[in-house]
Amino acid sequence: MANKQELIRFLDQHVFDPILKASPERFDDADRKRTEDVQARTRSEKDRFHNYSSAEDVVNNFKSDLHSAAARRVNDELKKLKLPTLPSVRDQFLEIAENNAEQHR
């Protein structure tokens, strides 16, 4: 399995940071509020992922978040705002995790 830092770096670059860097001012009033809400949730999620103790925890929680009802609602909002979601990077993320797992055997 990839090490925790590789997985976190990937998620930061491809999902969390692009969401957090999106300027709410570029949206109309309704979407601005939606952007601020998903950014607050993303900050919390990013912290949660950074605090997992192992790569295995990162992968397991990533997979869990793909199917949770709460994550689905946030992902719907992110799609409306044309921002990245965890499902949008699923294949790449799992490939990194699996390829690196093979290298460490």
Report how far residue 75's alpha carbon sits from residue 64's, in angstroms, rounded to the nearest whole number. Answer: 14
pLDDT surpassing 90 at residue 44 = yes
Report how far residue 48's alpha carbon sits from residue 93's, in angstroms, rounded to the nearest whole number. Answer: 17
Structure tokens at 98: 């699996």
Determine the average pLDDT of the residues in 52-69. Answer: 94
Helix (H, G, I), strand (E, B) or coil at 81: coil
Q: Residue 85's pLDDT is what? A: 96
Side chain identity, residue 85: T
Range from 44-48, 66-70, 71-75 that averages highest in pLDDT:
44-48
DSSP state of 27: S
Q: Which residue has the tokens 């690196």?
A: 100
Domains in the chain: boundaries: 4-103
Considering the chain, what percentage of its residues have pLDDT values greater than 90?
A: 81
Determine the average pLDDT of the residues in 41-70. Answer: 95
The pTM of this model reads 0.89
Work out whether the CA dihedral 5, 10, 13, 17 comes out positive or negative.
negative
